[in-house]
Amino acid sequence: MEEVKVGLVGLGTVGSGVYELIAQNGEFIAQKTGLRLTVKKILVRDLAKPRPVSSPPELLTTQAEEIFGDPEIKIVCELLGGIEPAKTYILEALRAGKAVVTANKAVLAEHGEEVFRTAQETGQALFFEAAVGGGVPIIKTLRESLSANRIQNLTAIVNGTCNYILTRMLEEGRPLPEVVAEAQKLGLAEADPSLDLSGLDSAHKIAILATLTQGSYISSEKVYVEGIEGLEPLDLAFAQELGFVTKLLALACLKEGGLEIRVHPTLVPQGHMLASVRLAYNAFLLKGDFVGQVLLYGLGAGAKPTASAVVADLLDAARQLQSGTSPPPLLYRASSPALIPMEEVVSRYYFRFSALDRPGVLSKIAGILGQHQISIASVIQKERREGEAVPIVMLTHEAREKAVRQALKEIDQLEVVAAPTKLLRILES
Amino acid sequence: MEEVKVGLVGLGTVGSGVYELIAQNGEFIAQKTGLRLTVKKILVRDLAKPRPVSSPPELLTTQAEEIFGDPEIKIVCELLGGIEPAKTYILEALRAGKAVVTANKAVLAEHGEEVFRTAQETGQALFFEAAVGGGVPIIKTLRESLSANRIQNLTAIVNGTCNYILTRMLEEGRPLPEVVAEAQKLGLAEADPSLDLSGLDSAHKIAILATLTQGSYISSEKVYVEGIEGLEPLDLAFAQELGFVTKLLALACLKEGGLEIRVHPTLVPQGHMLASVRLAYNAFLLKGDFVGQVLLYGLGAGAKPTASAVVADLLDAARQLQSGTSPPPLLYRASSPALIPMEEVVSRYYFRFSALDRPGVLSKIAGILGQHQISIASVIQKERREGEAVPIVMLTHEAREKAVRQALKEIDQLEVVAAPTKLLRILES
Q: What is the mean pLDDT of residues B147-175?
A: 97
Secondary structure of residue B253 in the 3-state scheme: strand
A95-120 per-position pLDDT tens digit? 999 999 999 999 999 999 999 999 99
What do you get for the CA distance between the two ends of chain A, in Å?
50
Contact criterion met (CB < 8 Å) for B293 and A292: no
Cα B287–B298–A103 angle (5° rounding)? 55
**Which run of H or of E encompasses B236?**
helix B233-241
* Widest CA span in chain A: 81
What is the average per-residue pLDDT within B14-18?
Answer: 96
- What is the enclosing helix (H) or strand (E) of B263? strand B258-269
Exposed e or buried b per residue across B171-196, where buried means at least 16 C-beta atoms within 10 angstroms of its C-beta: eeeeebeebbebbeeeebbeeebebb
- What ipTM goes with this model? 0.95
Q: Cβ separation of A292 and B315 shorter than 8 Å?
A: no
CA distance A135 to chain B (A): 5
Residue B429 confidence (pLDDT): 78
B35-47 tens-digit pLDDT: 999 999 999 999 9
pLDDT digits (tens, 9 = 90+) for B305-324: 999 999 999 999 999 998 88
**Band (A387; pLDDT cuts 50, 70, 90):** low
Segment A124-135 mean pLDDT: 96
More confident residue, B359 or A343: A343
> Has residue B6 got a pLDDT over 90?
yes
Please judge whether A322 and B322 are an interchain contact, meaning their C-beta atoms are less than 8 angstroms apart: no
pLDDT value for A334: 85
CA distance A278 to chain B (A): 9
Average pLDDT of the segment spanning A36-65: 92
Which pLDDT score, from 0 to 100, does residue A328 have? 83
Q: Which one is catalytic: A205, A247, A287, A402?
A: A205
Amino acid at A38: T
Residue B385 scores a pLDDT above 90 = no
**What mean pLDDT comes out for the span A203-210?**
97
pLDDT tens for each residue of B333-362: 988 889 999 999 999 999 999 999 888 899
Environment class of B389 (CB within 10 Å of its CB; exposed 0-12, middle 13-18, buried 19+)? middle
Per CB-CB distance under 8 Å, the chain B contacts of A311 are 148, 290
Q: What pLDDT shows up at residue B416?
A: 93
CA B30 vs CA A183, A332, A418, B139: distances in Å: 46, 10, 58, 24
Q: pLDDT tens digits, residue range A148-163?
A: 999 999 999 999 999 9
d(CA A240, CA A315): 44
Q: Which residues in chain A are contacts of B289 at CB distance < 8 A?
A: 25
Q: Is the CATH number 3.40.50.720 carried by domain B2-134+303-323?
A: yes
Least CB-CB distance to B298: which of A293, A328, A332? A293
Distance, in Å, from the CA atom of A197 to the CA atom of A228, rounded to the nearest integer, reads: 6
A190 exposed, middle or buried (CB, 10 Å; 0-12, 13-18, 19+)? middle
B147 interaction partners in chain A (CB closer than 8 Å): 29, 32-33, 312, 315
Backbone angles phi, psi at A116, to 5 degrees: -65, -40
Give how far A272 is from chain B: nearest CA, Å: 7
DSSP count for chain B of H helices, then E strands: 13, 17
Mean of pLDDT values over B95-114: 95
How far is it, in rounded angstroms, from Cα B146 to Cα B287?
A: 10
Task: Return the exposure string of B55-78: e unless at least 16 CB atoms fall within 10 Å of the residue's CB, then b.
Answer: beeebbeeebebbbebeebbbbbb
Helical spans, DSSP H, in A173-256: 176-185, 194-197, 200-214, 233-241
DSSP state letters, A336-402: PPPBPPGGG-EEEEEEEEEE-S-TTHHHHHHHHHHHTTPPEEEEEEPPPPTTSPEEEEEEESSEEHH
Residue of B nearest to A285 (CA): B297
From the list A31, A148, A271, which residue is nearest B312 (CB)? A148
Angstrom distance (rounded) from CA B106 to CA B110:
6
Q: What is the mean pLDDT of residues A246-252?
A: 98
Say whether domain B139-299 belongs to CATH 3.60.60.10.
no
B78 DSSP β-pair partners = B9, B102
Q: Quick one: which H or E segment has residue B408? A: helix B401-412
Using CA atoms, how far apart are residues B223 and B203, in angstroms rounded to an integer?
Answer: 6
Per-residue model confidence (pLDDT) at position A371: 97
Helix (H, G, I), strand (E, B) or coil at B416: coil
Domain ranges of chain B: 2-134+303-323, 139-299, 342-426
Q: Which helix (H) or strand (E) holds B138?
A: helix B138-140
Per-residue pLDDT tens for B182-213? 999 999 999 999 999 999 999 999 999 999 99
* CATH T-level fold of B342-426: Alpha-Beta Plaits (3.30.70)
How crowded is residue B261: how many other Cβ atoms within 10 Å of its Cβ?
26
Are A32 and B215 an interchain contact pair (Cβ–Cβ within 8 Å)?
Answer: yes
What does the DSSP 8-state code read for residue A325?
S
Model pTM? 0.96
Name chain B contacts of A296, Cβ cutoff 8 Å. Answer: 294-297
Give, as one character, the DSSP assignment of residue B168.
Answer: H
SS3 A414: coil
pLDDT at B88: 97
Whether residue B387 has pLDDT greater than 80: no
Q: Which residues of chain A have a CB within 8 Å of the CB of B150?
A: 25, 28
Interface test with B, best of A308, A316, A332 (most B CBs within 10 A): A308
Residues A193, A180 contacting (CB under 8 angstroms): yes
Across residues B378-401, what is the average pLDDT? Answer: 88
Average pLDDT over residues A185-196: 95
Are the C-beta atoms of A127 and A317 separated by less than 8 Å? yes
pLDDT band for position A209 (cuts 50, 70, 90): very high
8 Å CB contact of A148 and B328: no
pLDDT in tens, B235-261: 999 999 999 999 999 999 999 999 999
Low-confidence winner among A246-255, A320-329, B25-34, B91-100 (lowest mean pLDDT): A320-329
Average pLDDT (B20-36) is 96
Q: Is the separation of the CB atoms in B300 and B278 below 8 Å?
A: no
Contact criterion met (CB below 8 Å) for A347 and A401: yes
Q: How many Cα atoms are found within 13 Å in the side-chain-facing hemisphere of A306?
A: 25
User: What is the nearest CA distance from B308 to chain A, expressed in angstroms?
Assistant: 6
The Cα–Cα gap between B190 and A387 comes to: 65
Distance CA A382, CA A360 (A): 16
Query: Do A417 and A355 contact (CB within 8 A), yes or no?
Result: yes
3-state helix, strand, coil in chain B (%, to 5): 40, 25, 35
CA B393 to chain centre: 29
| Among candidates A150, A291, A319 on the partner chain, residue whose Cβ is nearest the Cβ of B135 | A291
Share the mean pLDDT of chain B. 95
pLDDT score recorded for residue A53: 82
Helix (H, G, I), strand (E, B) or coil at A62: coil
The reply to whether residue B290 touches residue A21, judged by beta carbons under 8 angstroms, is yes
Residue A343: Cβ within 10 Å count? 13
Nearest to A34 among B145, B328, B333 (CB): B328
Which residues of B have a catalytic role annotated? 205
Decide if B33 and A135 are in contact by the 8 Å CB cutoff. Answer: no
From chain A, pick out residues whose CB is under 8 angstroms from the CB of B291.
135, 298-299, 304-305, 308-309
Residue by residue, what is the 3-state secondary structure of A236-299?
A: HHHHHHCCEEEEEEEEEEEECCEEEEEEEEEEEECCCHHHHCCCCEEEEEEEECCCEEEEEEEE
| Structural contact between residues B32 and A332, judged by C-beta atoms closer than 8 angstroms | yes
Distance from B112 to chain A by nearest Cα, in Å? Answer: 18
